[in-house]
């Protein structure tokens, strides 16, 4: 009996009104919840955008500061025990590196002068090669204690001197294959290339390196 009356009850005007009202309430609640979720999501998006914008501004400021400023100068009497330890550690690295860098520059120069003059290079060829190997090994051992600028200059300097050494070695090998009679053109090409590498590029790198080491280690008053 109840089952037979149920469809009639559900289809009565009052029941349909209640169902419609309930559906409307549910729709309003769903719309309200959706609005809250959308607003919360929008707030999170705006917060992330603000943080991203701030981060990019800080990165840009760091780039500008990094390119426009000179490397920090360490003084003989830096404030604080940690600063003093860093200063002494870096200075000790340059004390170990500089004699080997100068030795490399001197040995390569002696080898190039002998080749250009047509004199037997003797042990100079091997001396220059060993000086380059020792300089690179010493740089690798002291790399963590050097400032970025000094490390970059030393790396470039070693590479340039190795190129000059290899150029002269190739000239000697070609000379041996040619029966020991180089042409004026070959001699001039070798001399110009070695001069550009050792007498100009390497010398300029040495000058820059000296300036950086002085700034990093000497007390400017």
pLDDT tens string 183-212:
777 778 888 999 999 999 999 999 999 999
Q: Are 194 and 112 in contact (CB under 8 A)?
A: yes
Residue 39 falls inside a structural domain: yes
- E strands, the chain, are none
Q: How many domains does the chain have?
A: 2
In-domain check, residue 109? yes
Residue 201's contacts (CB-CB under 8 Å, 6 or more residues apart) are 160
Tell whether 55 and 87 lie within a shared domain.
Answer: no
If asked whether residues 138 and 194 sit together in one domain, one would say yes
Measure CA of the first residue to CA of the last residue in the chain; give whole Å. 109
Single residue among 68, 94, 115 that ends a domain in this structure = 68
Residue 73 lies in a domain: no
| pLDDT band (50, 70, 90) for residue 220 | very low
List of residues 6+ apart from 96 with CB closer than 8 A: 138, 141, 142
Residue 203 lies in a domain: yes
* pTM score of the predicted model: 0.61
Structural domain for 105, as ranges: 81-217
Tell me if 161 is assigned to some domain. yes
């Amino acid at each position: 009996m109840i089952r037979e009356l149920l469809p009639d009850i559900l289809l009565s005007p009052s029941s349909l009104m209640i169902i419609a009202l309930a559906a409307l309430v549910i729709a309003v609640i769903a719309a309200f919840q959706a609005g809250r979720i959308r607003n919360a999501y929008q707030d999170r998006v705006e917060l992330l955008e603000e943080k991203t914008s701030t981060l990019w501004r800080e990165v840009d400021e760091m780039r500008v500061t990094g390119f426009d400023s000179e490397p920090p100068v360490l003084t003989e009497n830096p404030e604080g025990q940690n600063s003093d330890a860093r200063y002494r550690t870096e200075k000790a690295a340059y004390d170990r590196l500089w004699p080997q860098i100068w030795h490399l520059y001197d040995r390569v120069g002696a080898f190039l002068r002998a080749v250009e003059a047509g004199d037997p290079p003797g042990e100079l060829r091997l001396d220059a090669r060993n000086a380059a190997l020792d300089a690179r090994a010493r740089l690798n051992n002291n790399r963590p204690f050097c400032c970025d600028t000094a490390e970059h200059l030393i790396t470039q300097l070693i590479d340039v001197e190795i190129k000059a050494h290899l150029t002269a070695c190739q000239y000697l090998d070609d000379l041996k294959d040619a029966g020991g009679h180089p042409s004026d053109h070959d001699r001039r090409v070798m001399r110009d290339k070695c001069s550009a590498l050792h007498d100009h590029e390497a010398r300029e790198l040495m000058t820059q390196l000296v300036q950086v080491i002085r700034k990093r280690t000497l007390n400017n008053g």
